Amino acid sequence: MTANQPGQRARQDRKRRREHYTRLTQPLVRDAGVLRPASWEEAMSRAAEGFRRNTEQHGPNAFGMFSCARSTNELNYLAQKFTRAVIGTNNVDSCNRTCHAPSVAGLAHAFGSGGGTSSYQEIEDTDVIVLWGSNAREAHPIFFQHVLRGMRNGARLFVVDPRRTSTAQFAERHLPLNVGTDIPLAYGIAREIIHAGLANRTFIERGTENHAAYAAAAEPWTLARTEEVTGVPAELIRELAHVYARADRAQLCWTLGITEHHNGTDNVLSLINLGLLTGHVGRHGAGLNPLRGQNNVQGGGDMGAIPNRMPGFQDILDPAVREKFGLAYGRAIQPRYGWNLTQMLDHIERGDMTTCYIIGENPVQSEADCQHTVKRLSNLDHLVVQDIFLTKTAQLADVVLPASAAWCETDGTFTNSERRVQRVRKALNPPPGARDDIAILCDMARRLGHDWRYTPEQAWDEMRSLAPNHAGISWARLEHGGIQWPCFSEDTLEPSYLHARLWEEDPERRGRPAPFTVLEHRPPVDELTDEFPLRLTTGRRLDSYNTGVQSGGFDSPRRRGETLDLHPVDAEALGVAEGEEVRISSRRGSIVAPVRLDSGLSPGLAFMTFHFPDEVDVNAITIEATCPIAGTAEYKASAIRVERLDPVPAV
């Protein structure tokens, strides 16, 4: 090997990546099994014709829309309208399904609406911050700045995570629980609060119901039993219980460590129970907050790009809601929930969904058990993918449409995790040949007989005329800064936090109480056995983004590629060294990756990302067990076996 070979290889790697990550600038259509360049006219007419053919032959429910959580509110509004008014089905969803759908379902169950309850300012004004199943320093670095400011103002930080993450390193206490034991831990904390007389009687009496049944269900979870099941020392559980309950104001924030489980919604409800028990909701500085994932996944759901809600979180099963939208859209809204993304994939497999329009999603690399996803998508009669790159998903399409990148090449709005709607403005022209997401969608609607001509602002104004909780947020107002929903009129603002009503003395003004939910502990589906003895959890690193489509083409000084992170004790038992490539197998399949040692893990626990699927396809081994309420997969708990590639021969 000559001295400059490694450098040459790195340069070749970079060149290969840059070529692979060249933006899409020309539509593609499939002929004789191969994607070839086409004119916009040809590609659009093929795309529209395929939708028409399939819905005529099989009815509107044969169509599914995957909408884009990276694109604007205005695109998401029009994508759901396209699905409901042009095609006539409620089958519209987005990556929220893989992510925070359990948070939305849990919050809606407890409080009637699915948004986080506080503002970022309140994170700075609070006394205790609990980050539960969240690696905010790496995955929510902007939010984490508010956490740091809160700490500078005196807040105490607790982190609940199986790994000692970089977030945990900032905390006063880190509770390293076993994967999938969040419900027992929440129960153990609750029981301690109840027995220490620290529950908030006023709030429980005014704002909640079902407390007695909940307290009874918590009773078996003594500190000793909770320690045994969760692996967290009893003293730490007791301390968190006392600090959280005694605080004047506390914020409980969670992310995917809670939601990406086969019982994700139950996990969310177990945290909501803690907020209800202590009255840490409905007041300034006290709240229950999922930190949302993609830049506009909150907005996508708010805009109705979900199968059960119209824009503004209005329930499709409410006849008055359907009537209002039916009149406005000139087409009756189906009186049933559509299929969510997980269900759509099932129906594609069964053959009763035959066509999909995927705008800015890469399910081939993001869905659990992705070999299965490829098989399913290949079953479609007609697949249209609208993206900024030629993804693995786009490579399966019949028509590929090159789009502009919402965050810098279009005008519109995004909504962040504190429900704040903010303007985004076009700063760059899209590459020649790419077209704006909304312009493409309007063209598609026109080809299917609907004379759509929307500027982003017109789409927004139509949306807020139909969604009372957004009615007061005009673009003119947004010139002066972001506005949180709910905002009912153009000359008022609501408090920055939700559900103050639950504290009202007058029962009339209080409205529906928030219920405690009794929950059962059900361990991860993928069982640990002698054959698959290690627990694999998957997640993120600061330097990369999701399936790597948007980050993989650029160098980062911190990036080291995919690794299998192991505790040194496990590595020693397996006889593997740092950097050594190993085979990682689950009940779904096998992949190969180099080992990295991380003493922040517990023995028995391994970690990988899903940022480099072109090199190491982690979702080939994750399990597709899903939460029956929210449809989210258990990305956070697979059972694996690790083997050396070149076992040392026995002597």
DSSP 275-291: HHHHT-SSBTTBEEEE-
Under the criterion CB under 6 A, does residue 419 sit at the interface with ligand MGD? Answer: no
3-state secondary structure of 54: helix
Residue 106: name its binding partner from Mo ion, ligand MGD, none (Cβ under 5 to 8 Å by kind): none
Q: What part of residues 463-502 is at the interface with ligand MGD (CB under 6 A)?
A: none
User: 12 to each of 7, 499, 641, how far by Cα in Å?
Assistant: 9, 56, 33
Residue from 82, 111, 313, 635 in contact with ligand MGD (CB under 6 A):
635
CB 344, min distance to ligand MGD, A: 13
Q: Which is nearer to ligand MGD, 200 or 355 (CB)?
A: 355
Under the criterion CB under 6 A, does residue 322 sit at the interface with ligand MGD? Answer: no
Q: Which is nearer to Mo ion, 292 or 521 (CB)?
A: 292
Q: Which residues contact 276 (CB under 8 A, 6 or more apart)?
A: 110, 203, 204, 207, 208, 514, 516
* Cα 124 from chain centroid (whole Å): 24
CB 168, min distance to Mo ion, A: 21
Residue from 102, 114, 150, 180 in contact with ligand MGD (CB under 6 A):
180
Give the strand pairing for 590-597 and 581-585: antiparallel
Closest residue to Mo ion: CB criterion: 293
Rounded Cα gap, residues 350 and 61, in angstroms: 13
Under the criterion CB under 6 A, does residue 139 sit at the interface with ligand MGD? Answer: yes
Binding site for Mo ion (CB under 5 A): 99, 293
CB 505, min distance to Mo ion, A: 40
Residue from 80, 547, 563, 602 in contact with ligand MGD (CB under 6 A):
547
Residue type, 487: C
Q: Which residues contact 283 (CB under 8 A, 6 or more apart)?
A: 249, 497, 500, 503
Number of residues that bind ligand MGD (CB under 6 A): 61
Residue that has been written with the tokens 């506390």 in this structure: 250
Residue type, 134: S
Under the criterion CB under 6 A, does residue 27 sit at the interface with ligand MGD? Answer: no
Rounded Cα gap, residues 97 and 361, in angstroms: 12
Under the criterion CB under 6 A, does residue 391 sit at the interface with ligand MGD? Answer: yes
Residue from 126, 294, 340, 602 in contact with ligand MGD (CB under 6 A):
294
Are 499 and 281 spatial neighbours (Cβ–Cβ below 8 Å)? Answer: yes
Residue from 376, 588, 636, 641 in contact with ligand MGD (CB under 6 A):
636
CB 370, min distance to ligand MGD, A: 9
Residue in 565, 631, 633 with CA at minimum distance from that of residue 599: 565
Which runs of E-coded beta strand occur in 392-481?
Answer: 399-402, 412-415, 420-424
Residue 208: name its binding partner from ligand MGD, Mo ion, none (Cβ under 5 to 8 Å by kind): none
Cβ neighbours, 10 Å, residue 506: 8
Q: Which is nearer to Mo ion, 282 or 363 (CB)?
A: 363
Q: Which is nearer to Mo ion, 126 or 267 (CB)?
A: 267
* Cα 422 from chain centroid (whole Å): 20
CB 366, min distance to Mo ion, A: 9
* Positive/negative CA dihedral, 625, 631, 637, 643: positive
Binding site for ligand MGD (CB under 6 A): 68, 70-71, 95, 98-99, 132-136, 138-139, 160-163, 165, 177, 179-180, 182, 255-258, 260, 293-294, 359-363, 366, 386-389, 391, 403, 405-406, 437, 537-540, 542, 544-547, 549-550, 610, 618-619, 622, 635-636
